[in-house]
């Protein structure tokens, strides 16, 4: 199709809405700031600078260590979704709902593992720290019959209300993705489009709004696909479109939640996007680099001695550059050497320049909460594990907001996962693993949860938080070791141990969830032992009864024999 034919095509409504939002984001500077933030984080900090080609540019990237430190603090925890039931209609269904919640918790752990959520959560936190916001988009993988996650850049998702950071209250959401023309046409064919419509799917060069410098260049012929999500009567509907062709027309998903969760690094009033860590440091980072480059240029110019030579009075000037060489003078004496050859004294550089550079870096790090004290300038051999942990925890207080945002992000993902399982599973089959209390063997059992139970289930989500840094582990192991040596750990003090564990915070150094599991296993063991003892007692009683019956039979037999004998004698 030529250009004339393309002009005759009409843009879809979704594409026109997408262009409206793209213009808004351009005016807000989201596309340029995204590229700039990642550029400065990665060390490409002289882009577009006008500098003489003979000047050697220096970059002292202090932004990356700040981001890495903060991301490391926020992600130094393992997260796990725990579903709890809020159903109280009847005790019978309450019990069913509690068991179903436990099975869903195991299924969520499996989904997290399959989707490599620990790894992807770290990526999302890093992207959020760099650019202010990172986004997770979930879809149903029919081949594997489970939810799958796809990470999205800040500029790939557009909100109907750009002033509200609550995803689920958005009037609509636009999600864009780049696809090869071949795949886009194949996708359209799978949706039942005619060949005439399929031929109207063309490649475009709309790469200027893609995230990252390298994404501006593509190998294959690509096109942009836009997904339009909105809610109607409590459920999510969607449509999909390229510029001139509607791929999917207004389709019901059945979902109650938008399959989108986002993580804002730091909330920004009146803005759905949040604020990142990099942008606030860019001006200082530029000045640090300029100052370092100026220092290097000045040092190169004046900080080294130069040789001044009267070549007319020296026979072999080339020897001046050789160590230990003899210099031959024409028509002169050794006392006149200062008239023919000298070395200049190097110039001095004001220490104020170096002080300014170091002060910019130091103040920037301190204000960012990533100074030497915060980043752990403590010798482990001079302090206990708990002391180090206390100092670290105190320095990490400024990151409580980010940690809370991550918890909310994980919880949002948990709600989306359950919503998808409930919507797309006619019967949810879960592999349940239990440990036989008597033998310790793992027992595998497939349990099917009917759809009506899933639909009736009311859940709340608790996020299990387990610290995992080296000092966390050290303090945890020390706490466990002390507990095992105490009276609380004795089997006869089981109730005291339960009371102690109930008083622990969820994020305590002591592993509360593991202790609860231990208490549960102890109870199961105790119940199994009591059951075996009861069965043994019953068996013993039965044997005693059998023996008593046998003795009665023998006694009756003896008495009968005596009567027979007596009767025989009387005859």
pLDDT one-digit tens code per residue, 219-240: 888 999 999 999 999 999 999 9
Q: In angstroms, rounded to a whole number, what is the distance separating the alpha carbons of residues 90 and 110?
A: 30
Confidence of residue 206 (pLDDT cuts 50, 70, 90): confident
At 373 the pLDDT is 45
At 1 the pLDDT is 43
Q: How many CB atoms lie within 10 A of CB 123?
A: 14
Ordered DSSP codes for 308-329: EE-GGGBS-GGGGGSTTPPPPB
Confidence of residue 393 (pLDDT cuts 50, 70, 90): low
Confidence of residue 328 (pLDDT cuts 50, 70, 90): confident
Higher pLDDT, 332 or 433: 433
Confidence of residue 374 (pLDDT cuts 50, 70, 90): very low
**Structural element, H or E, at residue 229:** strand 222-232
Q: In angstroms, rounded to a whole number, what is the distance separating the alpha carbons of residues 364 and 456?
A: 53
Lowest mean pLDDT among 16-20, 327-331, 560-564: 560-564
Average pLDDT value for residue range 98-114 = 91
Distances, alpha carbon 204 to alpha carbons 3, 172, 182, 224, in Å = 13, 25, 13, 8
Do 322 and 316 meet the contact criterion of CB atoms below 8 Å apart? no
Is pLDDT at 404 greater than 60 in this prediction?
Answer: yes
At 410 the pLDDT is 94
- Residues of the chain above pLDDT 90, percent: 36
Neighbour-count burial of 213, counting CB atoms closer than 10 A to its CB (0-12 exposed, 13-18 middle, 19+ buried): middle
At 381 the pLDDT is 47
Q: How far is CA 107 from the centre of its chain?
A: 19
Confidence of residue 432 (pLDDT cuts 50, 70, 90): confident
How many C-alpha atoms does 522 have within 13 Å on its Cβ side? 15
Is pLDDT at 375 greater than 80 in this prediction?
Answer: no
Average pLDDT value for residue range 520-536 = 79
Average pLDDT value for residue range 291-296 = 80
At 5 the pLDDT is 57
| 536-542-546 Cα angle (round to 5) | 145
User: Going along 4-67, which residue ranges are E strands?
Assistant: none
Distances, alpha carbon 507 to alpha carbons 37, 220, 374, 384, 430, in Å = 33, 49, 21, 20, 29
| 458-140-238 Cα angle (round to 5) | 90
Lowest mean pLDDT among 11-15, 387-391, 404-408, 425-429: 387-391
Confidence of residue 334 (pLDDT cuts 50, 70, 90): low
Average pLDDT value for residue range 381-392 = 50
Do 33 and 189 meet the contact criterion of CB atoms below 8 Å apart? no
Confidence of residue 2 (pLDDT cuts 50, 70, 90): very low
**Structural element, H or E, at residue 546:** helix 512-570
**Structural element, H or E, at residue 527:** helix 512-570
Q: How far is CA 171 from the centre of its chain?
A: 27
Rounded to 5 degrees, what are φ and ψ at 176? -110, 155
Identify which of 370, 346, 299, 375 has the alpha carbon closest to the alpha carbon of residue 58: 299
At 481 the pLDDT is 75
Is pLDDT at 368 greater than 70 in this prediction?
Answer: no
Identify which of 232, 228, 227 has the alpha carbon closest to the alpha carbon of residue 256: 232
Identify which of 468, 377, 398 has the alpha carbon closest to the alpha carbon of residue 75: 468
Lowest mean pLDDT among 98-107, 353-362, 539-548: 353-362
Enumerate the domain spans of the chain: 1-42+134-263, 305-345
Average pLDDT, the chain: 82
- Residues of the chain above pLDDT 70, percent: 80
Q: In angstroms, rounded to a whole number, what is the distance separating the alpha carbons of residues 446 and 181?
A: 43
At 3 the pLDDT is 44
SS (H, E, C) 189-219: HHCCCCHHHHCCCCCCCCCCCCCCCHHHCCC
What is the 3-state composition of the chain as percent helix, strand, coil, each rounded to the nearest 5? 55, 20, 30
Distances, alpha carbon 554 to alpha carbons 495, 526, 545, 557, in Å = 51, 41, 14, 5
Please tell me whether the overall predicted TM-score, pTM, comes out greater than 0.95 for this model.
no
Is pLDDT at 288 greater than 90 in this prediction?
Answer: no
Average pLDDT value for residue range 304-317 = 74
Do 278 and 154 meet the contact criterion of CB atoms below 8 Å apart? no
Q: How far is CA 469 from the centre of its chain?
A: 16
Is pLDDT at 277 greater than 70 in this prediction?
Answer: yes
At 250 the pLDDT is 94
At 243 the pLDDT is 94
Average pLDDT value for residue range 299-305 = 72
Do 227 and 367 meet the contact criterion of CB atoms below 8 Å apart? no
Lowest mean pLDDT among 121-125, 182-186, 431-435, 453-457: 431-435
**Structural element, H or E, at residue 71:** helix 63-74
Is pLDDT at 505 greater than 80 in this prediction?
Answer: no
Lowest mean pLDDT among 46-55, 168-177, 194-203, 247-256: 46-55
Q: In angstroms, rounded to a whole number, what is the distance separating the alpha carbons of residues 299 and 347?
A: 9
Q: In angstroms, rounded to a whole number, what is the distance separating the alpha carbons of residues 298 and 302?
A: 6
At 397 the pLDDT is 67
Is pLDDT at 307 greater than 80 in this prediction?
Answer: no
């Amino acid at each position: 199709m030529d250009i004339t034919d393309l002009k005759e095509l009409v843009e879809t409504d979704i594409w026109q809405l997408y262009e409206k939002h793209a213009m808004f984001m351009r005016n807000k500077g989201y596309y340029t700031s995204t590229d700039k933030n990642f550029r400065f984080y990665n060390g490409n900090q002289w882009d577009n600078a006008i500098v003489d080609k003979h000047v050697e540019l220096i970059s002292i990237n202090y932004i990356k260590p700040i981001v890495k430190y903060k991301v490391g603090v926020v992600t130094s925890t393992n997260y796990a979704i725990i579903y709890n039931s809020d159903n109280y209609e009847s005790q019978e269904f309450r019990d069913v709902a509690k068991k179903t919640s436990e099975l869903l918790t195991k299924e969520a752990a499996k989904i997290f593992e399959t989707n490599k959520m620990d790894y992807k959560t770290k990526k999302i936190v890093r992207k959020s720290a760099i650019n202010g916001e990172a986004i997770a988009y979930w879809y149903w993988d029919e081949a594997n019959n489970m939810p799958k996650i796809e990470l999205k850049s800040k500029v790939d998702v557009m909100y109907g209300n750009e002033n509200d950071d609550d995803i689920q209250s958005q009037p609509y959401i636009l999600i864009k993705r780049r696809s090869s023309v071949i795949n886009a046409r194949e996708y359209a064919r799978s949706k039942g489009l005619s060949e005439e419509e399929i031929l109207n799917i063309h490649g475009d060069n709309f790469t200027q709004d893609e995230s990252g410098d390298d994404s501006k260049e593509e190998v294959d012929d690509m096109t942009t696909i836009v997904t339009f999500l909105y809610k109607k009567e409590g459920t999510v509907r969607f449509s999909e479109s390229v510029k001139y062709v509607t791929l999917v027309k207004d389709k019901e998903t059945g979902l109650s939640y938008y399959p989108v969760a986002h993580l804002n690094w730091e909330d920004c009033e009146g803005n759905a996007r949040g604020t990142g860590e990099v942008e606030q440091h860019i001006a200082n980072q530029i000045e640090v680099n300029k100052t370092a480059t100026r220092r290097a240029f000045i040092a190169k110019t004046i900080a080294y001695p130069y040789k001044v030579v009267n070549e007319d009075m020296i026979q072999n000037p080339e020897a001046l550059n050789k160590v230990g060489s003899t210099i031959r003078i024409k028509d002169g004496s050794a006392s006149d050497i200062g008239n023919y050859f000298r070395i200049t004294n190097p110039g001095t550089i004001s220490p104020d320049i170096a002080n300014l550079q170091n002060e910019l870096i130091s103040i920037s790090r301190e204000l960012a909460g990533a100074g030497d004290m915060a980043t752990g300038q403590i010798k482990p051999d001079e302090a206990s594990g708990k002391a180090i942990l206390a100092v670290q925890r105190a320095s990490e207080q400024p990151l409580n907001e980010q940690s809370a945002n991550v918890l909310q992000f994980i919880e949002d993902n948990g709600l989306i996962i359950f919503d998808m399982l409930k919507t797309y599973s006619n019967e949810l089959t879960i592999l349940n693993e239990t440990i036989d209390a008597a033998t310790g063997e793992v027992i595998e059992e497939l349990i099917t949860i009917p759809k009506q139970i899933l639909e009736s289930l009311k859940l709340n989500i608790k996020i299990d938080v387990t610290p995992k840094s080296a000092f966390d582990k050290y303090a945890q192991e020390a706490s466990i070791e002390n507990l095992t040596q105490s009276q609380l750990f004795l089997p006869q003090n089981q109730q005291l141990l339960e009371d102690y564990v109930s008083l622990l915070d969820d994020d305590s150094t002591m592993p509360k969830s593991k202790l609860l599991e231990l208490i549960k296993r102890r109870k199961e063991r105790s119940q199994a032992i009591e059951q075996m003892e009861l069965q043994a007692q019953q068996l013993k009683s039965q044997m005693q009864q059998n023996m008593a019956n046998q003795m009665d039979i023998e006694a009756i037999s003896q008495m009968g024999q005596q009567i027979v004998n007596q009767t025989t004698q009387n005859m």
